[in-house]
Amino acid sequence: MRPLARFLSSIAVPLPPVLALGTVVLIAAVLMTSVQVTGAQDEMGVDSPDASKAENSSAERPDGDGSDSKLRGTGPDVPPVAKPVVHLIKLRTVNTEGGMIDPGLTAYVERVVEDADAADVDALVFDIDTFGGRVDAATVIRDAILNADLLTIAFINKRAISAGALISLACDKIVMASGGTIGASTPVSGAGEKASDKYVSVMRAEMRGTAERTDRDAEIAEAMVDERIYIPDFSDEVGQPATLTTQQALHYGIADESAETLHAVLEIYDLADAEIVEIDINWAEHVVRLLTHPVVTSILLAVAFFGMMAEVKTPGWGLGGSMALIALAIFFGSHLIVHLANWEELALFGIGLLLLFVEIALIPGFGLAGLAGFLCMIASILLTRLPSFDFWSVEDISIVVGQFSLSLIGAIIVASFVLKSLPKVAAFNRLILGSETKAADGYVSAPTEDDETLVGQTGVTVSELRPVGIGSFDGRRLDIIADGEFIEAQRLVKIVSAHGARIVVRAV
């Protein structure tokens, strides 16, 4: 490890600037998750011929405002009423990058809901087409929708499967396009197999509670999760979780209306002339979604492990420690933003670091404190990668442990490769001493005999003395100094005085 240690220590990075840089980056990412609205008028489709007008959307608002506020005055003394505003968010993961509802979307949806609430818009429309995704991410989105103080509409065009069904049920109104489907919300493990009865029970409760909150058939909602629930005259196939078509959803009261276009949806709720503002995901939310991807997470952990291993072999604070610190800050920071990590996991990691510091600085050797600190750090990382506790499974734990192990093995392989290849790189070879001066070869930094035993010995100069050089005395190479004159190489010399490492000679 010596070559790597010398290299890393020679380009050591001060800790305070690195901490400041990492802090600025994280603060900028968090701030950019605030409002970044791109207003865009949605294309208007052809009205559905069967679309019937429903009661005004403002009557659905919790403040109880009547539909009169939407009517435009006709007399000269009546001031014009402001044009209604509708915010649109698209959760369309079919045939798109990402392909699923993942934790990286939660920060985006929460921001959109909070902004719509703060702006007091007339409605928030979710344009949904998804086969589902992470249940823990869907529950966060579901909670945000249920807590919204405005009219929420789910426009299912064409699918709301699995996690998408839970999100749709949380909306005040559900409108489905013809040929649409909703349901099949049975939770599965990371390996794609049906989860145990414990997790099915949790998901059943989530679906039932959501349906009850929005005045929908709770038994149908439960049947979407558990195939053992049989609804008379509903399912042709017993033993399959319920999946409803548009017509079935309308018949059983899961869906409220049917429409083919967004314009038709808004017409149903007297919002045909509304200004439509589509809220896009901003760059910071894109970055957070990328950073919480399992592959990127594994790379961050590998970089952190490599940095820690390099720092252990480097005197003082160097590049390795800075790399590890930045990688861990990005790892925990991105997971905190999307609710994959809590402050408890971060505190557990801090306790682990503290125990390791105590072990290294205060306790000789590596004992119980160091082992406990190492285990705390590993546990905090694993807990951060696992889904919410209610949805843990043996398969999920195995997958997370496997990813963690691959990151650790990858870091070890990279460290070994760097140690072998770094000295061979011309740019770095200048920083590394290529040969060793061993005592067995006659190299000594100072004589080991007493001063008196050296005085009077004769030897031969190996190099020129100008006035310092090297001489050989009984097969030993010593650093010597000429007494007042230059002496060429291969001359016989005699030691006239010796005081520690200062040995003075004269030509014989």
Reported as a single tens digit per residue, the pLDDT across 14-31 is 433 434 444 444 444 444
Q: For residues 144 and 422, which has the higher predicted lDDT (pLDDT)?
A: 144
pLDDT band at 239 (very low <50, low <70, confident <90, very high): low
pLDDT for the residue numbered 443: 58
| Residue 174 · residue 148 · CB < 8 Å | no
Question: Does residue 224 register a pLDDT over 80?
Answer: yes
Instruction: Decide if domain 439-507 falls under CATH 2.40.128.20.
Output: no
| CATH 3.90.226.10 for the 83-281 domain, yes or no | yes
Range of lowest pLDDT (114-118, 424-428, 469-473):
424-428
32's tokens: 């950019």
pLDDT at position 430 is 57
The residues spanned by each domain of the chain are 2-30+287-341+386-426, 83-281, 439-507
Mean predicted confidence (pLDDT) in 46-53: 36
In degrees, rounded to 5, the angle at the alpha carbon of residue 383 between the alpha carbons of residues 378 and 388 is: 175
State pTM to two decimals: 0.62
How far is CA 388 from each of CA 107, 274, 342, 385, rounded to the nearest angstrom?
A: 16, 39, 10, 9
Strand 468-473 to 458-461 pairing: antiparallel
In the predicted structure, residue 40 carries a pLDDT above the cut 50: no
pLDDT at residue number 4: 39
Residue 499 pLDDT: 81
Q: Is residue 41 scored above 50 in pLDDT?
A: no
**pLDDT exceeds 80 at position 158:** yes
Least confident of 10-14, 382-386, 420-424: 10-14
Render pLDDT for 442-476 as a digit per residue (tens, 0 to 9). Answer: 555 555 555 667 888 899 999 988 888 899 988 88
Amino acid at 157: N
pLDDT at 19: 42
pLDDT at 191: 59
pLDDT digits (tens, 9 = 90+) for 359-388: 766 765 567 887 888 888 888 888 887 766
CA–CA separation, 21 and 27 (whole Å): 10
In the structure, what pLDDT confidence band is assigned to residue 131 with cuts at 50, 70 and 90? Answer: very high
In angstroms, rounded to a whole number, what is the distance separating the alpha carbons of residues 420 and 430?
16
- At residue 10, does pLDDT exceed 60? no
Label residue 59 by pLDDT band (50, 70, 90). Answer: very low
Rounded mean pLDDT of the chain? 76
SS (H, E, C) 378-445: HHHHHHHHCCCHHHCCHHHHHHHHHHHHHHHHHHHHHHHHHHHHHHHCHHHHCCCCCCCCCHHHCECC
Q: What is the pLDDT of residue 63?
A: 42
